[in-house]
Structure 1
Amino acid sequence: MQLNTHTWGEGDRLALLVHGIMADHRTWRRVGPALAARGYRVVAVDLRGHGASGRGEYGPQLFADDLVETLPAGAELAIGHSLGGLALSLAVDRLNPRRAVFSDPAWHLASSPEGFGPEVFADLKSAPREQIRSMNPRWEEADIDVELATLAAWDETTALTLAPLFGADLLPSAPVVPSLVQLADPSFLIPEAAAATLRERGFEVRTVAGTGHTIHRDDFEGFMESLEGWV
């Protein structure tokens, strides 16, 4: 599927941005312009079922295949957040960017004794502003506005395709290209043992102190600082 894209900048270097579940390209409202200011042409996608992209069947491999169909290979940089990090990891051998950043990627969806599962994400489709604010106390009001708009545009059935991933070990066996894994503090997707495994497998792992899962919106400055040497 050809995905809807949004572009910032006209630089000679190309950066690709892939959002997480429930979001779309608007989640990168500060990151895109910041990379463009560094000389990149930045292309952000809306994954299928998100934003202005098409609907259809859903699943990690389909998300990855769409990236390959939509985006050019050989970019200078590719960044994927959460589900976007998982999709990027399944497409990275074909997209072949020079460097990849996986921001709190969905590689280790732990099973929960409380029954936490994909339906919890689907229920957020109708979350009111106050709930979004209470869940994300560090966000700017503009990010809450974006979240409400992206939830309205999102097909929540995409979340239900995550069910087989809960309890699965999705950690890549090795980085295909030089790769940074950027973690929240703490990360509920990449626990300490998984982070140690990733280091052993050749990934660089950095934690952005005090942040939740959506690092680039919790602490934009910390997010950009953690990319030092990678952008």
Structure 2
Amino acid sequence: MLPLILASIAALFLVAPILIVVPMSFSTAISFQFPPPAYWIGYYQKFFTSEEWLEPALNSVIIAGGAMAFTMLLVVPAAFGYVRYRFRGKALVNLLIMSPLIVPHVVSALAYYGFLGRAKLTGTYLGVIVAHGVLAVPVAFLVITATLKGFDRNLERAAMSSGAGPFRTFWYVTLPVLRPGMLVGALFAFLSSFNEAVVALFIAGRGATTLPKKMYESIRLESDPVIAVVSTLLVGAVVLGVLVPVVMRRRPIDAA
């Protein structure tokens, strides 16, 4: 009974902010007010028609897409090497790959600011993409290594014994089986970059302002209810990001 109570309390703490933010996004108040005095969709219209908000949103999509691609370029070869080969220092390699989860983002942001500043990449798309891509590595690595560990290598052996070369075996046998896990890893990398605010505050200039950075600046200078709209849309995106892997996992079962 106690575990159920504790789980319910934890769930309440997680859900409560959403139950407050969503109604506030439909509020008629000129600042944050809960409960709302009345409801309308005016702030949604403001978000979707204001260049002040649409430009950071587009920047976030571009940067998250680039970070996702950069993360996958790093993670896929690393995951294959980590799972399929034995070498000394494997535990240390795993620790280094997981380090972005351990190191506070403020510390990482300071390090990136110094490094990217020397390379003259602060305030650019490329600089933010590199920083966000590295931060997304641990989550994507965990997903893809888990997928690789569950892969039956007898399928590859059977294909190669039938005359298929390494490339054809990978393309027609390995990749189709691993594709769902790779897509999930890529999705998590995209969401990780899209929601990252701390690093963006340090290294994103005016030309590469992301949506989380814009939200922080707006809430610091004024209580614009559009922030509640953006928060609601981000929650919806995260929910979709969680549901997609669930649906993709159930598809093979349903097909069977």
What's the TM-score once normalised by structure 1's chain length? 0.24
The structure where strand makes up a greater share of residues is 1
The structure where helix makes up a greater share of residues is 2
Larger relative contact order (C-alpha < 8 A, sep ≥ 6)? Answer: 2
Larger Rg: 2
What's the TM-score once normalised by structure 2's chain length? 0.23
